[in-house]
Amino acid sequence: MCGIVGYTGSKQAAPILLEGLARLEYRGYDSAGIAINDGDKINVVKAMGRLAVLCEKSNGGAAAPGCIGIGHTRWATHGKPSDANSHPHVSENGRIAIVHNGIIENYASLKEMLVNRGRVFKSETDTEVAAQLIDYYYNGNILEAVSRAVRELEGSYALGVVCADEPNTIVGVKSHAPLIVAYSDDGNFFASDVMAVISHTKTVTYLEDDEIAVVRNDGIKFYTPFLDEIKKEKCIVDWDISAADKCGYEHYMYKEIMEQPDAVRRTIEPYISDGRVDLSAVLDRDYVKKLNRIFIAACGSSYHVGVIAKYNIEKLARVPVEVVLASEFRYCDPIVDQNTLVICISQSGETADTLEAQREAKRLGAATLAIVNVEGSSIAKSADKVIYTKAGPEIAVATTKAYSTQLAVTVLIALYTAECCEAIPDSEYDKILSELLSVPEKMLKILDDKANIQYLAYQHFNNEDLFFIGRNIDYALSLEGSLKLKEISYIHSEAYAAGELKHGTISLVVDDTLVIAVASYGRLVEKTLSNALEVKARGAHVMGITTESLKQKVGAVTDEIITIPDTHEVLLPSLAVLPLQLFAYYVALYRGCDIDKPRNLAKSVTVE
């Protein structure tokens, strides 16, 4: 959600900003803009729609000369998408320009104060309020003005500020929203995401909440909110620019689906030693033995990972697990104590609701464990302990490899907890671990045999309503299959526990309704197939997803079938998710959808 980037140095800023914004397109946006200080005044170019519109309007940046500037891709929160509401926003006199990621919650009262003092506003946004407030306090020193203004702001924000009177300075500040600064020989940067600057440098510094960075072409300095100078460490990003390119694939989503075997392998291998899962550096064995409950707080696909994890942890370790939508965790009065572990899952590590859930868990006295993909992210830094997935950069809005690596981590946690609690026989433990290590190879087999999935997608891409059914972990996986389809193809899709069909849902099934029955969980396949027969009796067309060993049984009931290799039941979702991802991808492809940037969606949801 909302990408921001800034540059000051020896080169023309506008082309660099446009390139950086292009690398932030995956975050989701509805408009874009740049503000360039030409040494005399600030020139702003902004436009609704895709970045290509801005590039054309600015002549690839040539229409806005200058070596310092800021850029923004906006995902509308305050005010509908329009040129007026697009960023950057400037103060009434044009002296201050800012870009902003997040929400300023007290903007209405601040705006009223400024209007009462004669300020005139041109937009509906909270961001213009911040620009006007900074200008209101400006008295010849932009750093002091920013410092004074942000003390009055409430909410989540990352701001980048330039001033016409100080043509060599960008000021960045953050509170509950991501912000980095970066260093290169040709100048220095700030951005909401490493992705924006990775083609120029791998050397970055992560800002903490309420810290202020002053970025100049000859260096970067850091300050507390009260302007005491502080020192910050530089970090080296450990992935290459090629990881953020399509590498010949038509879409990032397809590339990331194909990268899953390697991503899962990279994620699990560091935690397996001498035939055992070793998470002792993250979870102390004595602490795990005392656990009386685990909460999992997450949003979207990460929540679906949590639902599968609940089944597996309770099955193997016999520890109660409650999965809660992160946006609800703070408001459900969770019962936690020092023997409760709260696991927070987020690809970006910046998901606002998940971050707040984690903070609430810590306030209540629980230990927190973060499963995230981005090092240095807010959730990672706030958690007591962290397990990083090794998915690498995930550009497509619809997650694939991050989901699979999160799922693999939860299997590691289930095995480790089961062993600590002496709840699993060695033979069962060894079998599951062996199968976990074979998941990447079996994923490759599915990906190599995707032609059938593509064919089935072509047969059904015109459906406008679709249902997924399953039981136990098959139901949990159905949640993700349904989400993948609806978010990139815009087909109305729902997932139901198969046993719930008779409690209302079956009334929606009419002739030619497509129902995808996920039937890989051997112990409950017969029951799922009974439900498949019920919908077929109402005219539904049923597609089955099952294992090779169950192919004949499931195929006898369903109209079409997709198979996955056999594996241990706790690992079935790790394999069965691939056909669901591919089916969604191909359906969206045939429908002509913008697969990597689906409408109204953002990659990282940094506001509540």
H-run or E-run covering 402: helix 401-420
Provide the residue type at 447 as one letter.
Answer: L
- Beta-carbon contacts of 339 under 8 Å, excluding residues fewer than 6 positions away, are 290, 291, 292, 293
| DSSP string for residues in 478-531 | HHHHHHHHHHHH--EEEEEEGGGGGGTGGGG--TT-EEEEE---GGGHHHHHHH
∠ at Cα 163 (53, 46), nearest 5°?
Answer: 10
Residues forming beta bridges with residue 297, ordered by sequence position: 324, 344
Q: CA–CA separation, 215 vs 171, rounded Å?
A: 6
User: Per the residue annotation, which of 2, 163, 420, 593 is the catalytic one?
Assistant: 2
DSSP 207: P
Q: How far is CA 171 from CA 10, 49, 221, 589, in A?
A: 18, 27, 10, 42
| Terminal-residue alpha carbon distance, the chain | 11
Question: Which of the following is catalytic: 310, 401, 442, 603?
Answer: 603
603 in catalytic set? yes
- Distance, CA of 574 to CA of 305 (rounded, Å): 10
222 forms beta bridges with 213, 230
Count of CB atoms situated within 10 Å of the CB of 586: 22
Distance (Å, whole) CA 560 – CA 562: 7
Residue positions annotated with a catalytic role: 2, 603
